[in-house]
Amino acid sequence: MSVKTKFKDWLYTNYPGSKQKVENFFADAPLLRKLLRVGFTPTFQGWGMSTFTHTPWGSATDLGDIEQAFNETCSQLTELVKSDGFKLTQFKPAERLSMLNSLMWRHYIVFWSATFAAKYAPRGTHNFVECGVCDGLTSFFALNAAARGGSDWGAYLYDAWEAMRGDLLLDSEKGNQGEYAYLNVDVTRANLTMFGERVRFNKGYIPESFAGSENPEAIVWMHIDLNSATPTIAALDFFWPRMVSGGVVLFDDYAWPGYEDTRNLILQWLKGKDGTLLPLPTGQALIFKR
């Protein structure tokens, strides 16, 4: 709850009649009237942030092509989750739809960045990579964007689909050891079955799994959500030389509290590279390769 919302609740509770006085004040002040409607009511509240501006989804404003495509993808996913056609094992059944709503901004960034990569990367097969896949939720948005960008695309997904190993974690990350033991690659495969044989599932721990995986020679987009610094840097080392000019890297955990080591190592790694990093208020970050 924002400071503004807390103050408003306190004022209206402790001073009966104040709500009507505030509304009357704004009604008599046309230039301030919008603040009553927009400034006090968030248009989005979810993971990591609240916003008071119009969102790139819904029906409050006219939407561009990417926004319309994102809305269609969200509607498709919602229906799949409702019918259990897309299994979200990381969330409790009663919370799944509300969690999807809370992730809207994050998923829009995924969809937008994948659309950008598919549209502006050099011609040829557009390969998309995700390191840290879980149930395939992020992949669903990225691959929908890829499919809308043309027929020449492929996806390479990397995950252990098992519990996180302690030997791959820094001391500050040891609390994550054993997490994600519930994951199952067959569930993820079923969730993404609509994308067919374009999707390759590479099971194993990063970085050792790269040696035995089917890897793309060139990529246009990569999402990293490994919840650990060492595999994150290993993924960057492995795929950055394969990323084409104009390609995009999207980090899931860059600015989240508890992931300072990951952020610091990414910044060190980026020195001397032909890339520009953009931290985002969602906690994500983008690197655009020159």
Q: What is the pLDDT of residues 63-75, one digit of tens each?
A: 899 999 999 999 9
Q: What is the pLDDT of residues 41-50, one digit of tens each?
A: 788 999 889 9
Mean pLDDT within 19-29: 71
The rounded distance, in Å, linking the Cα atoms of 247 and 279 is 17
**Which residues fall within 8 angstroms of residue 290, CB to CB, at 6 or more apart?**
245, 274, 275, 276
Q: What is the pLDDT of residues 194-204, one digit of tens each?
A: 999 999 999 99
Least confident among 66-75, 118-127, 218-227, 257-266: 118-127
pLDDT band at 170 (very low <50, low <70, confident <90, very high): very high
Q: Where are the domains of the chain?
A: 3-41, 65-289
SS3 at position 255? coil
Q: pLDDT at position 4, please?
A: 63
The rounded distance, in Å, linking the Cα atoms of 137 and 133 is 8
Spell out a b/e string for 264-281, using b for 16 or more CB atoms within 10 Å of the CB, else e.
ebbeebbeeeebebeebe
pLDDT exceeds 80 at position 27: no
The rounded distance, in Å, linking the Cα atoms of 266 and 251 is 10
Nearest to 211 by CA among 202, 219, 220: 202
Q: pLDDT at position 71, please?
A: 96
Q: pLDDT at position 30, please?
A: 64
The rounded distance, in Å, linking the Cα atoms of 50 and 42 is 6
Distance set, CA 26 to CA 20, 23, 41 (Å) = 10, 5, 15
Q: What is the pLDDT of residues 149-168, one digit of tens each?
A: 887 999 999 999 999 999 99
Q: What is the mean pLDDT of the chain?
A: 92
Q: What is the pLDDT of residues 76-103, one digit of tens each?
A: 999 999 999 999 999 999 999 999 999 9
Task: Give strand pairing partners of 51.
Answer: 44
Q: What is the pLDDT of residues 239-284, one digit of tens each?
A: 999 999 999 999 999 999 999 999 999 999 999 999 999 999 999 9
CATH class given for the domain over 65-289? alpha beta
Q: pLDDT at position 246, please?
A: 93
Spell out a b/e string for 51-73, using b for 16 or more CB atoms within 10 Å of the CB, else e.
eeeeebbeeeeebeebbebbbeb
Task: Give strand pairing partners of 153.
Answer: 126
